[in-house]
């Protein structure tokens, strides 16, 4: 059962109980990510995510991780374009102890100077690893072009220059200006006592500001023209990422687009996989995916191909987009894609961690939790007419930004 409660502090709780499990996942979300950063602050949200594990007023780094480890819990965090989440999964009997650690990290970070300097080196190495991964390079360049002129173009990791410039005072100021009670959500899923959870969190977070005074201009820039960019690296395979900007998560076309994306490149029976890999042998991996945010979205086709087969692979992808534009989709293909989406969604709902993430992200993005039954109904309601209408958004090959990270010949 799913319930959303707003505490007197202004913090919202998303509580989703599951009677059939013994574990619970707790996530503390903040409506802050790389889109909120100024150009000179790029990467600060991700860096703060790292630093919250490094010490509070009452715990040092070892105490934070050891308290969770000795209970058999699992703790982690992630930063994305629009949000940051700190989460833990544990047995239900350890709810209060693990929640103590998690809330202490959020409410009482100290950003210790010695840890800060060490963590700069860690994050810079993470940036270096990203630069060595051709898929990551292709995707970063793609986002930079698709979202040109928008905060969405900021890389989550930041740059070596911005990361090197962070100070204790800068982190402290940014954190307490952006991590405010009106922008925080606690998402809990699994086995728990509702009254205990409410009672625990009702007195938390009062040392944070009530509301955020800084507004983020989530501007939507003019659509960029399609184009082709080639980047040469010391690699044996070419990595292609091609994308086009879409509508935001709140748009009614979101679910039809997800179904269409799955039909085109979502699995082994998808059109791209069958044509580009199975029939023509041009790629080992080829797939399509969507990403939806509060104010924009993205459609991507990705492929790993031999560097001397790039032109053939792109031509095969273009053929599939042209076929999608010109041909009717069969009822059988349509129903198969719909069942795949429904199954994938239901499978995800059976994991306490996935459910915690699903509810937290929905509440941040939409202002409410979309129930599983609502999603399944939305998927059931998709018609072939909906698919034929939404496919106009992605069938024009010339509108795509195409990034080819390839080896030197």
Taking the C-alpha atoms of residue 389 and residue 408, their distance in angstroms, rounded to an integer, is 41
CA angle 28, 30, 32 (to 5 degrees): 155
Buried b (16+ CB within 10 A) or exposed e, 144-174: bbbbeebbbbbbbbbeeebbeebeeeebeeb
CB atoms under 10 Å from CB of 281, counted, come to: 12
> What is the C-alpha to C-alpha distance for residues 302 and 142, in angstroms, rounded to an integer?
11
Give 58-118 as a DSSP string. S-BHHHHHHHHHTTT-EEEEEE-SS-EEEEEEEEGGGHHHHHHHHHHHHH-B---HHHHHH
Residue 210 token pair: 């009530």
Helix axes of 254-265 and 372-381: crossing angle, nearest 10 degrees: 70
Contact by Cβ (8 Å): 309, 317: no
Q: Are 203 and 376 within 8 A, CB to CB?
A: no
Which residues, in sequence order, are bridge partners of residue 383? none
Q: Retrieve residue 384's tokens.
A: 């072939």
Nearest to 2 by CA among 377, 358, 389: 358
Catalytic residue among 41, 49, 183, 320: 49
List all residues 6 or more positions away from 383 whose beta carbon is below 8 Å from its beta carbon: none
Whole-angstrom distance, CA of residue 99 vs CA of residue 114 = 26
Joined together, the tokens standing for residue 317 give 């992808």
Nearest to 337 by CA among 280, 391, 291: 391
- Contact 127/159 with Cβ under 8 angstroms? yes
Give me the sign of the Cα torsion angle 189, 191, 195, 201.
negative
Among this protein's residues, is 49 annotated catalytic? yes
Tokens of 194: 């509702």
Cα 111 to chain centroid distance, Å, stands at: 25
Task: Give the residue numbers marked as catalytic.
Answer: 49
């Amino acid at each position: 059962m799913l319930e959303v409660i707003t505490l007197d502090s202004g913090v919202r709780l998303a509580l989703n109980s599951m009677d059939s499990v013994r574990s619970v996942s707790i996530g503390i979300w903040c409506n802050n990510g790389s889109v909120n950063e100024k150009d000179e602050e790029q990467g600060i949200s991700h860096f703060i995510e790292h630093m919250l594990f490094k010490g509070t007023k009452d715990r040092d780094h070892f105490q934070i991780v050891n308290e969770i480890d000795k209970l058999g819990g699992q703790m982690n965090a992630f930063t994305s374009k629009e949000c940051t989440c700190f989460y833990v999964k544990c047995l239900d009997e350890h709810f209060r102890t693990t929640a103590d650690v998690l809330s202490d990290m959020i409410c009482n970070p100290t950003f210790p100077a010695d840890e800060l300097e060490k963590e700069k080196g860690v994050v810079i190495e993470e940036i270096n690893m990203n630069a060595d991964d051709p898929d990551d390079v292709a995707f970063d360049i793609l986002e930079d072009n698709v979202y040109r002129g928008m905060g969405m173009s900021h890389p989550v990791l930041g740059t070596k220059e911005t990361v090197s410039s962070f100070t204790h005072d800068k982190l402290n100021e940014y954190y307490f200006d952006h991590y405010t009670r009106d922008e925080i959500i606690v998402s809990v899923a699994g086995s728990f006592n509702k009254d205990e959870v409410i009672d625990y969190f009702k007195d938390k977070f009062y040392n944070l500001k009530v509301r955020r005074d800084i507004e983020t201009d989530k501007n939507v820039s003019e659509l960029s023209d399609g184009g082709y960019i080639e980047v040469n690296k010391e690699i044996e395979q070419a990595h292609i990422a091609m994308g086009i900007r879409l509508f935001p998560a709140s748009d009614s076309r979101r679910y039809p687009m997800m179904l269409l994306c799955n039909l085109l490149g979502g699995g082994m029976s998808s059109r791209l996989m069958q044509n580009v890999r199975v029939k023509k042998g041009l790629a080992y991996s080829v797939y399509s995916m969507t990403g939806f945010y509060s104010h924009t979205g993205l459609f991507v086709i990705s492929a790993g191909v031999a560097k001397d087969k790039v032109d053939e692979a792109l031509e095969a992808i273009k053929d599939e987009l042209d076929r999608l534009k010109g041909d009717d989709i069969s009822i059988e293909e349509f129903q198969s894609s719909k069942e795949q989406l429904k199954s994938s969604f239901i499978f995800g709902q059976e994991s306490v961690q996935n459910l915690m993430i699903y509810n937290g992200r929905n509440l941040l993005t939409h202002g409410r939790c979309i129930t599983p039954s609502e999603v399944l109904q939305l998927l059931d309601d998709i018609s072939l007419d909906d698919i034929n209408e939404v496919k106009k958004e992605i069938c024009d090959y010339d509108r795509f930004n195409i990034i080819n990270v390839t080896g030197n010949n």
